[in-house]
């Protein structure tokens, strides 16, 4: 099943939406600020998908761009996480505060790293066929060079997130419900 993907781009004072990026606009007037939403119903329980998302220390095992991860300051409804990612020979680390509502939502907020801002949300809704998973990410790199080099790759990786978690769930839990 193809997930629904929405990309949003900002023109000064105007927003427009595209179902997919088909044209590269090379204009100094375009402010490229990806807002990516992906939704897909997976044949697993909300608990199973939630557990995969909050188990950040396992990310290097199934997210090819994630080379290192760690978690600390574990509290009942939040924790700190650090991911080290590698894109085309460029290696960057970033730290986030992850706020959780078990089996319902994971909200990820940038604390430090190569971004001007990064916010992300995972939401889980039980359906008759499994769990509807909504993934949202909004980010902007802290320099134009990083944006040019890493922006398109990070956007593509972000769009593939649910697929990577689906494959991991199938490996751990079988074909699902």
Domain ranges of the chain: 4-55+97-173
pLDDT (0 to 100) of residue 34: 58
Residue 161 has pLDDT above 50, yes or no: yes
pLDDT-derived band of residue 11, with 50, 70 and 90 as boundaries?
Answer: very low
Kindly tell me if the per-residue pLDDT of 13 is higher than 60: no
**Beta-bridge partner residues of 118:** 139
C-alpha 24, offset from chain centre: 22
Could you tell me the two tokens for 7?
């990309």
* pLDDT on residue 26: 34
**Rounded to whole angstroms, how far apart are CA atoms 140 and 31?**
10
Q: State residue 9's pLDDT score.
A: 38
Please give the pLDDT value at position 177.
61
Output the pLDDT for position 133.
Answer: 95
Q: What is the pLDDT of residue 122?
A: 97
pLDDT tens for each residue of 130-149: 999 999 999 898 999 888 87
Task: Give the model's confidence band at 156: pLDDT under 50 very low, under 70 low, under 90 confident, else very high.
Answer: confident
The CATH number corresponding to 4-55+97-173 among 3.40.50.1010, 3.30.530.20, 3.30.565.10, 3.40.50.1820 equals 3.30.530.20
Helix axes 161-173, 46-54, angle to 10 degrees: 110
Give yes or no for residue 17 having a pLDDT over 50: no
Q: Higher model confidence: residue 17 or residue 88?
A: 88
Q: Which two tokens stand for residue 91?
A: 């290696």
Q: How is 67-83 classified by DSSP, letter by letter? A: EEEEEEEEETTEEEEEE
> Crossing angle, helix 144-159 and helix 161-173, to 10 degrees?
40
Over residues 23-71, the pLDDT tens digits come to 333 333 344 455 888 899 999 999 999 999 999 999 999 998 899 999 9
| Averaged confidence pLDDT in the chain | 81
């Amino acid at each position: 099943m193809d997930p629904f993907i929405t990309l949003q781009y900002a023109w000064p004072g105007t927003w427009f939406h595209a179902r997919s990026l088909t044209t590269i606009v090379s204009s100094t007037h375009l402010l490229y600020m990806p807002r990516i939403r992906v939704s897909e119903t997976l044949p697993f329980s909300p608990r199973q998908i939630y557990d995969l998302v909050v188990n950040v220390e396992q990310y290097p095992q199934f997210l090819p761009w994630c080379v290192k991860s760690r978690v600390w300051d574990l509290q009942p409804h939040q924790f700190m996480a650090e991911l080290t990612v590698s894109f085309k020979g460029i290696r960057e680390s970033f730290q986030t505060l992850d706020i959780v509502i078990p089996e319902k939502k994971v909200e990820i907020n940038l604390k430090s790293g190569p971004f001007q801002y990064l916010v992300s949300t995972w939401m889980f809704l039980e359906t008759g066929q499994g769990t509807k998973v909504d993934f949202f990410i909004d980010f902007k790199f802290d320099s134009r060079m990083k944006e040019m080099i890493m922006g398109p790759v990070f956007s593509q990786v972000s769009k593939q997130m649910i697929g990577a978690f689906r494959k991991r769930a199938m490996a751990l839990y079988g074909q699902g419900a």
